[in-house]
Amino acid sequence: MTRVRTTTNELAFPFSLRPMVKDDIDQVSTIERESFPTLWPPTSYRKEITNKIAEYIVCVCDHEYLTVTKQSNGWRRWLRKKGTLVTVKKRLVAGFLGVWYMGGEAHIVTVAVKGEFRRRGIGELLLIGSLELATARDAQVLTLEARESNNIAKALYAKYGFLEAGLRKRYYSDNHEDAVIMTTPDIKTSGFQQFISKKKKEFDLRYGTNSREYL
């Protein structure tokens, strides 16, 4: 599986991207409930992170941690019987994004940012990550749906070359709002890659230097 890692200038922009792992699921599920309170059933991320046609990435705070107390999973049987509690520090998850790959197309199925971290460039960083993943998977286009009323999100997607391609009527179950289908041009062309490279440089100038590599 292609993986993307983003390292950041820790003084300018203390966030980084990495693949979602099992230890992230509790935090990701909390962000999902906060962002999509009417979503039912909730996403089974334990299945999704093993889905061969999908990739999920998280944006983590490089200097903030979540302290969790849980029952030990130590190998000693007597420890498990006693239910020993251990304290674990986990990197704080600020947002996440999921992409599915089908028929030469990459489709963003979900993206969300934790409330207190919104409007800090994290959604944009996740979008950059999704474009890098789609490129590495040799997808021809990257697509998504956005609420028709969500002008902020649509403006961000348009900034990265997404064009409105149609509507899905009454797509959202909570209020039956239409979804705008948005898609990039062919991301494999040199013109689009140059366009995205320019956008990445603009992001770096605003938030701090970022370098990305595939693992």
> Which tokens go with 56?
């999920």
Q: What is the pLDDT of residue 2?
A: 43
Of the two residues 205 and 131, the one the predictor is more confident about is: 131
Percent of the chain with pLDDT over 90: 70
Whether the pLDDT of residue 4 is over 60: the answer is no
Whether the pLDDT of residue 20 is over 70: the answer is yes
Respond yes or no: is residue 45 known to be catalytic.
Answer: no
Whether the pLDDT of residue 11 is over 80: the answer is no
List residues bridging with 213 in a β-sheet.
5
pLDDT in tens, 55-74: 999 999 988 888 776 665 55
| Average pLDDT for 182-202 | 97
Q: Give the SS3 label for residue 37.
A: coil
| Terminal-residue alpha carbon distance, the chain | 9
- Indicate the pairing of strand 141-147 with strand 105-113: parallel
Domains of the chain: residue spans and CATH: 4-63+94-214 (3.40.630.30)
| Average pLDDT for 65-87 | 63
Q: What is the pLDDT of residue 40?
A: 86
Respond yes or no: is residue 157 known to be catalytic.
Answer: yes
* SS3 of the chain: helix, strand, coil, percent, to 5: 30, 35, 30
- Of 45, 56, 101, 157, which is the active-site residue? 157
| Average pLDDT for 103-131 | 95
Q: Alpha-carbon distance 164 to 158, whole Å?
A: 8
Q: Alpha-carbon distance 128 to 72, whole Å?
A: 37
- Of 56, 145, 160, 207, which is the active-site residue? 145
